[in-house]
Structure 1
Amino acid sequence: MPERTPPTLDQRPPELAVIVPTYNEAEAVAEVARRVASVLEGLDWELIFVDDDSPDGTAERARELARLDPRIRVIQRIGRRGLSSACIEGMLSTTAPYLAVMDGDLQHDEALLPHMLQAIRDEDLDIVVGSRYVAGGDLGDWSARRQGMSRLATWIGRTLIRAELSDPMSGFFIVRASVIHGCVRRLSGVGFKLLLDILSASKTPLRLRELPFRFRPRRTGQSKLDTTVLWEYLLMLIQKLVGPMIPLRFIAFSLIGAFGVLVHLSVLWPILHLLGEDAFLVGQATATLVAMTSNFFLNNLLTYRDLRLRGRQLLWGWLSFVLACSLGALANVGIADYLFRAGHSGWVLSALAGILVGAVWNYAVTAVYTWRRPANPI
């Protein structure tokens, strides 16, 4: 635990703010603070822990540190979650002209921070990135599978940015606050890859440099990498391609809806195969209910991860979702039939118009009535 530093009236504002997003990192925050204080000795800095209401008491542990050292601050977020959005909140909460982002699990090498700060300041750069892929960098003890996934995601990410960068997926970097203030309204704030978000949101190419670091093994806690990380990365890429006018949740809702069509057909086909075409009505009703149920649970798991329904809320959520989607199906058929019979368009455009109206209806109504209140994250 860092030694107590009494506040003084002549204490200078920070030159560097280190933003550390946390979730269930209670065992690591004291060591993170100790290491940051050690490597930034002689500089004006502040350390901002942004915690997504960790059930292990991470925020309270960080507040204990802040009571001893006024350079440490804590933001505890209630009812929302996400590494990128947490970093953005931390960045907007400070007056420091330089903003560093690093993980709270001790896998990033904090000793690189003063070198990154010196480079961005002395070389008049916009971003300095801690890179695992330049000479001297290393992925550490990652498995071959994880390394392959990282390299594939990196290759895809580089197609979105206008910069020669070997590691756009890095979560360890320093950026000028003016860059964030200039592009913050174009950031998606989704997922774990804020650097890629910043680079793709900037209207002008950014001056950057990469410094090598070795990704260290995790010492405490559990990895946050799971299938939802890959899902959020996919959503961010899609939004960067289609533009910010379409809400990210609607994109996710629509993708799951498209998967629901496959579920529907996979249920309907064997029923017709076994019982014959006379069972079409029964098969269609069964397949529709199964597809709606599949869509509900996938949306609850992915699209509305931060508002996830649990326990008894699931039953009400499922009922409201099925009701809303049933009305959406009627709107779909009605609009498509009207346009086709009126001769305004062919059957393909009529069907697509019906699908679009139904999708918008389902998304809007379920957003209000199904996932209307934040749930306590676990």
Structure 2
Amino acid sequence: MEQLAPELFARADPCALELAVVVPVLNEADSVVPLARALAVALAGIEWEMIFVDDGSTDGTIERLEQMASADQRIRVTRRIGRRGLSSAVMEGFLSTIAPVVAVIDGDGQHDETILPDLFRAVFEGGCELAVGTRYAADGSVGDWSAARHRISQLATKAALPFMKTPLSDPMSGFFAIRRDVAIAAAPGLSSTGYKLLLDIVATLPAGLRAKEVAYTFRSRTAGNSKLDSAVALEYFELLLDKLIGRVVPVKFVMFGAVGALGMGVHLIALALSLELPMSFAVAQAVAVGTAMTFNFTLNNHFTYRDRRLTGLRWVKGLGVFAAACGLGAVANIGAGSALYAQDASWWQAGLAGAVIGSVWNYVATSWFVWRRK
């Protein structure tokens, strides 16, 4: 193999890169400039770069990020098209740098950037593999959270305890620094679901990490809108379920099956209501099938494949492809069940086998043709 001349790749700056700060953003146009300025001040004396990872902002965030990047070569921008998710965005940032220490901080200014040097030094100089900004240490605080939000956070922390191989007071934290090689070692096993990358990492690595916690006070948002919604709780429990059974059964298959079970109820209700009208059973059954299929597609699109959600005309096209794929799944269900029944299997064994084969087909086919990752 041809040897590369080292001098061709020498840094113009003789100081080696020490820290990469990854900032995931989505529609944070009013926050990114003040945050970058505050980070630059906090990181004085450290050789750093900032990597903003944008998940498709539409409010001018990208334009402001590119202006900053054009003025300061230490600021980089990564744009993601057709995919979303805070955890996966952060990991993309981690994997795009050669800095030995990587950190993540939210793009909305709610994390206290002044403790970032402490997190960095704990990893870079202090022998730790992980350093976490915590709201729940002795001097930490959740700020002006409501009592209800505080209780929910504490319940989520307790639910995570059985999965953590590294004891942490705040595994829900989105503010931490970690050795890049440790993050890379964890990457293949991460579910990258939802917002809780730290929990994903400490639940994935086989052994506990040498960790330090640094307390801080969580700030109130001063610009933009929160990205938290009702589906965040679902994503959190999806992450826990993935850590529990993900090596055996894909969690999305479990969710797809759960939606299918609900769809059976919708089918029966639609059929009963249709039969109350002056229509034949065949027509009523067709109405029920169409209703249940639309219901299943809508729920899967909103929850199971939230990170690949279809909208507008793509939603309409997706529904058509979903219906076609599930139609073939029904044929597979009937064909497999009938074949087994003809081989002297009991009716329930044949029916169950057909249902499983049909469900697996529907899951694989729709994952590939309807909600395929780009």
Q: Same fold (TM over 0.5)?
A: yes
Report deviation, 1:340: 3.5
Which range moves more in the overlay, 214-223 or 149-158?
A: 149-158
**Aligned counterpart, 1:3:** none
- CA distance in 2 between partners of 1:251 and 1:205 (Å): 29
Matches within 5 A, 1:282-293: 282-293=283-294
Q: How many residues align?
A: 364
Report deviation, 1:16: 1.2
**Aligned counterpart, 1:34:** 37
DSSP-derived class of the 2:78 partner: strand
- CA distance in 1 between partners of 2:368 and 2:166 (Å): 40
Cα deviations by residue, 1:111-155 (Å, 9 ceiling, x for unpaired): 111111222234311111111122121122222232222222211
DSSP-derived class of the 1:314 partner: helix
**Aligned counterpart, 2:12:** 9
**Aligned counterpart, 1:25:** 28
- CA distance in 2 between partners of 1:101 and 1:266 (Å): 48
Residue 226 of structure 2 corresponds to residue 223 of structure 1:
yes
**Aligned counterpart, 2:168:** 165
**Aligned counterpart, 1:355:** 355
- CA distance in 2 between partners of 1:321 and 1:80 (Å): 20
RMSD of aligned residue pairs (Cα, Å): 2.4
- CA distance in 2 between partners of 1:336 and 1:233 (Å): 37
- CA distance in 1 between partners of 2:281 and 2:152 (Å): 43
Mark the CA change 1:279 to 1:233 in structure 2 (over 3 Å): closer, same or farther.
farther
Which range moves more in the overlay, 333-342 or 76-85?
A: 333-342
Contact 2:31/2:108 (<8 A) preserved: yes
- CA distance in 2 between partners of 1:54 and 1:210 (Å): 32
- Aligned-residue identity in percent: 48
Contact 2:165/2:206 (<8 A) preserved: no
Cα deviations by residue, 1:303-350 (Å, 9 ceiling, x for unpaired): 333443333333332222222212212222332233234234x44443
**Aligned counterpart, 2:315:** 314
Contact 2:322/2:370 (<8 A) preserved: yes
Matches within 5 A, 1:91-170: 91-170=94-173
DSSP-derived class of the 1:174 partner: strand
Which range moves more in the overlay, 284-293 or 175-184?
A: 284-293
Report deviation, 1:37: 0.7
Report deviation, 1:281: 4.9
Report deviation, 1:355: 2.0
Contact 1:190/1:232 (<8 A) preserved: yes
**Aligned counterpart, 2:297:** 296
Contact 1:235/1:251 (<8 A) preserved: no
**Aligned counterpart, 1:5:** none
Q: 2:183 aligns with which of 174, 180, 184?
A: 180
Report deviation, 1:269: 4.8
Which range moves more in the overlay, 216-225 or 180-189?
A: 180-189
Q: 1:209 aligns with which of 205, 208, 212?
A: 212
Cα deviations by residue, 1:173-193 (Å, 9 ceiling, x for unpaired): 111111112121111112100
Report deviation, 1:248: 4.8
Q: 2:245 aligns with which of 237, 242, 246?
A: 242
Under a length normalisation based on structure 1, what TM-score does the superposition of the two structures give? Answer: 0.88
Mark the CA change 1:203 to 1:216 in structure 2 (over 3 Å): closer, same or farther.
same
**Aligned counterpart, 2:262:** 259
Report deviation, 1:43: 1.0
- CA distance in 2 between partners of 1:125 and 1:231 (Å): 32
- Structure 1 stretches lacking a partner, 5+ long: 1-7
- CA distance in 1 between partners of 2:353 and 2:166 (Å): 39
Letter in 2 for 1:305: R
DSSP-derived class of the 2:97 partner: coil
- CA distance in 1 between partners of 2:249 and 2:101 (Å): 32
Letter in 2 for 1:81: R
Report deviation, 1:39: 0.9
DSSP-derived class of the 1:74 partner: strand
Report deviation, 1:282: 4.9
**Aligned counterpart, 1:366:** 366
Contact 1:84/1:190 (<8 A) preserved: yes
Mark the CA change 1:338 to 1:187 in structure 2 (over 3 Å): closer, same or farther.
same
**Aligned counterpart, 1:78:** 81
- Structure 2 stretches lacking a partner, 5+ long: 1-10
**Aligned counterpart, 1:63:** 66
Report deviation, 1:203: 1.6
Matches within 5 A, 1:318-329: 318-329=319-330
**Aligned counterpart, 1:4:** none
Cα deviations by residue, 1:267-311 (Å, 9 ceiling, x for unpaired): 345556x579x9765554333221110111122223333443333
- CA distance in 2 between partners of 1:264 and 1:151 (Å): 39
Letter in 2 for 1:189: S
- CA distance in 2 between partners of 1:201 and 1:307 (Å): 24
DSSP-derived class of the 1:115 partner: helix
Letter in 2 for 1:255: A
Under a length normalisation based on structure 2, what TM-score does the superposition of the two structures give? Answer: 0.89
